[in-house]
Amino acid sequence: MINTVIKAENISKVYKLGTISSRNLINDIINVLKKNKNNKNNIWALKDISLEVEQGQVLGIIGKNGSGKSTLLKIISKITSPTIGQVSIKGRVASLLEVGTGFHAELTGRENIFLSGLILGMKRKEINEKFDAIVKFSGVEKYLDTPVKRYSSGMNVRLGFSVAAHLEPEILLIDEVLAVGDAEFQKRCLGKMKEVSEEGRTILFVSHSMPMIASLCDKCILLNKGKIQAHGETSQVIASYLLNNQENPSFIDYS
């Protein structure tokens, strides 16, 4: 029986160009009214996205910069809401979308591990059982009791990924942040993600690295200008991307 854990229905997200705050209330109101009347100020980051992801699936998301990849993950992770449509999620979600996502800058690495676990709904005992493995994988033992605001980008990613992968979420969302890490750490992350997927957990992985996508993902979607252009077997979707078929707005289904 197919168990769908993510279902996106007709998702669209619009952003408005320009800055609202002019430090003058009357001018701000006039600017808002102008924007609402002028559709040229509207940028559709996503348009009519419908998608179902099954439990245990590793789904790659590829496309040019500005194609809507990060926006889609932010909507799925509830960081932002869609302008139109809805997303239903079954299970706990952990996301690593930006360096330091979910961390409190003033708290130490140790405190943030427990904070992340509690946010995921875990009990302190469960977090304690995973704590040593999280710290060992991250390699930040020496800085564990230092506020994360003093961490480098690479250290933040190491700890963030380790927390997200070890605290047993049913769904793991990962953006391009792994590119911040060194080659050795990226290799370890791929190995850990494969291990996580073999345990029946679901992964959505955004990357510009086609070798990483090909190595990890069994299915893939190609986004172009906020729309799904291709969806299906990873090798075929990657081939479409590399052959510049993304400039053709027609939908390609390889499933």
- Of 54-58, 202-206, 244-248, the poorest mean pLDDT is in 244-248
Checking if the pLDDT of 245 tops 80, the result is no
What HEC string does the chain produce? CCCEEEEEEEEEEEEECCCCCCCCHHHHHHHHHHHHHCHHHEEEEEEEEEEEEECCCEEEEECCCCCCHHHHHHHHCCCCCCCEEEEEECCCEEEECCCCCCCCCCCEHHHHHHHHHHHCCCCHHHHHHHHHHHHHHHCCHHHCCCEHHHCCHHHHHHHHHHHHHHCCCCEEEECHHHHHCCHHHHHHHHHHHHHHHHCCCEEEEECCCHHHHHHHCCEEEEEECCEEEEEEEHHHHHHHHHCCHHHCCCCEECC
Give the pLDDT score at 87.
Answer: 96
The reported pLDDT for the residue numbered 210 is 92
216-242 tens-digit pLDDT: 999 999 999 999 999 999 999 999 999
Q: Give the mean pLDDT of 106-133.
A: 91
Tell me the pLDDT of the chain averaged across its residues. 85
Max mean pLDDT among 96-105, 154-163, 240-249 falls in 154-163
Q: How confident is the model at residue 99 (pLDDT cuts 50, 70, 90)?
A: low
Max mean pLDDT among 8-12, 113-117, 198-202, 247-251 falls in 8-12
CA distance 203 to 199: 11
- Higher pLDDT: 131 or 19? It is 131
pLDDT confidence band for 27 (50 / 70 / 90): low
**pLDDT number for residue 160:** 86
Higher pLDDT, 10 or 245: 10
The neighbour count for residue 80, using CB atoms within 10 Å, is: 14
Express each pLDDT in 127-146 by its tens digit: 999 999 999 999 999 999 99
Determine the pLDDT at residue 246. 45
What secondary structure, in 3-state letters, does 4-53 show?
Answer: EEEEEEEEEEEEECCCCCCCCHHHHHHHHHHHHHCHHHEEEEEEEEEEEE
Q: What is the pTM of this model?
A: 0.80
| pLDDT score of 41 more than 60 | yes
1 band by pLDDT with thresholds 50, 70 and 90: low
pLDDT tens string 47-58? 999 999 999 999
Mean pLDDT of 85-102: 83
In percent, how much of the chain has pLDDT > 90? 50
